Amino acid sequence: MTGKCLVVVFCLAVLGATVAQPVIHIGSKSDPNASLFSYDQKFGETTCLRNYDVGMSAYKNFDECTRLSSSTYLRSNPDWVDIAIGANFSGIGRMGYRVLDLETMDPKDEMVLVYHDFIGNFTLDEKIKVIKNNMNETGYFGSGHCGI
């Protein structure tokens, strides 16, 4: 009698585990329950930099991306800023930088204002280098002339 009771309990436990399993729908685009075609996860990333000694601020922002792979190289000290941004994304991307006049540091006295807005599929490679005037005279960063 004990052996029959154990068999019945074991059968009920196996049936209960089978019924509790979720059903996964894999199918065509016309099937609203097909998880294969749902994009329920979006990726985002934000980075900001402010160097008050150079009078520079920079940012990058990726939002609502279904695909995002980015890298940032950043070096900053009181005399210069070096940034390299690489990204491969599908979504919305924004990046830019602003350099103020060091003598006034007034937002109205912008020396440089650059910003980019991207919507769609993009691969980008951006390099930014901001140097104080006296540092460029040392020749450490090259001749000081822009290559055109």
pTM of the model: 0.62
Say yes or no: 67 and 124 in one domain.
yes
Whether residues 5 and 64 share a domain: the answer is no
Token pair for 141: 């960063």
Does residue 32 sit in the same domain as residue 65? Answer: no
Q: Give the residues across from 47 on adjacent strands.
A: 60
Same domain flag for 44 and 32 = no
Q: Quickly count: other Cβ atoms within 10 Å of residue 49's Cβ.
A: 16
**Residue 81 resides in a domain:** yes
**Which H or E element spans position 6?**
helix 2-19
Q: Are residues 34 and 45 in the same domain?
A: no
91 and 23 in one domain? no
Return the pLDDT at 25.
52
| CA atoms of 61 and 47, how far apart (whole Å) | 7
- Claim to verify: residue 76 and residue 98 sit in the same structural domain: yes
- For 90, other C-beta atoms within 10 Å of its C-beta total 16
In tens digits, what is the pLDDT along the chain, a chain of 148 residues? 544 544 444 444 444 444 555 555 555 556 555 554 445 578 899 999 999 999 999 999 999 998 899 999 999 889 899 999 999 999 999 999 999 998 888 888 898 999 999 999 999 999 999 888 766 555 555 555 544 3
Q: Rounded to whole angstroms, how far apart are CA atoms 134 and 44?
A: 38
The total number of residues shown for the chain amounts to 148
Report if residue 1 sits inside a domain.
yes
- Domain interval for residue 65: 40-136
Q: What six digits make up the tokens of 24?
A: 């996964």
Q: What is the pLDDT of residue 14?
A: 45
Strand 80-100 relative to strand 56-76, pairing: antiparallel
- Helix or strand (DSSP H, E) at 59: strand 56-76
**Residue of 139, 148, 126 lying closest to 82 (CA atoms):** 126
CB atoms within 10 A of CB 29: 8
Task: Say yes or no: 21 and 47 in one domain.
Answer: no
The number of distinct structural domains making up the chain is 2
Same domain as 4, residue 47? no
Least Cα distance to 74 among 82, 86, 64 occurs for: 82
What was the pLDDT predicted at 8?
43
Do 55 and 19 lie in one domain? The reply is no
Beta pairing partners, 68: 89
Rounded to the nearest angstrom, the gap between the alpha carbon of residue 115 and the centroid of all alpha carbons in its chain is 16
